[in-house]
Amino acid sequence: MQINTGLVVVPIERDGERVGDLKFRPTDGAFARRYMAMLSNIDEKQKEFIESAKEIDDDKSTGPCGVPNKDVRAIELMESAADFMCGEIDNVFGAGTSAMAFGGVRSTSAILQFLSGINDYFVAARAAKMAQYAPKR
């Protein structure tokens, strides 16, 4: 007997180098629930980050050597956002996934590339699964 669990294997390439494979089952209900929760969590956190960014932008103070404090705070906010999203990714895809995909780089741009690419697989697989149950015309 052979059982197809809907495993999808996506090769991950970072800066032109293959760094590993991402394996997941987009049609698995537990995975879908974790994935959708991740997107919701990131969306909610993004609202908090936007509010923080507005507050940071209003900071006119300077720190050592005349460096604007808002620049330092903006970098810290971006690192915090990246850390949060990497944690969410690891929660959905397994511990170490973000380290494999991003190699320790804390870049929201790279993370958004990852999420966008994964979303394409997720949406396509879920649509195909739902099509099985749609009435035939």
Range 64-73, long-range pairs (CB < 8 A, 24+ positions): none
pLDDT digits (tens, 9 = 90+) for 54-109: 999 888 888 888 888 889 999 999 999 999 999 999 999 999 999 999 999 999 99
Given this model, what pLDDT does residue 27 score?
Answer: 87
What local confidence, expressed as pLDDT, does residue 137 receive?
Answer: 65
How many whole angstroms separate alpha carbon 39 and alpha carbon 46?
10
Q: What is the pTM of this model?
A: 0.85
* Contact indicator for 12, 100 with CB cutoff of 8 Å: yes
| Closest listed residue to residue 69, CA positions, set 80, 79, 78, 58 | 58
Alpha carbons 27 and 128: distance in angstroms, whole number: 9
Greater model confidence, 133 or 105? 105
Q: Find the DSSP H helices in 58-107.
A: 69-93, 97-102
pLDDT for the residue 122: 86
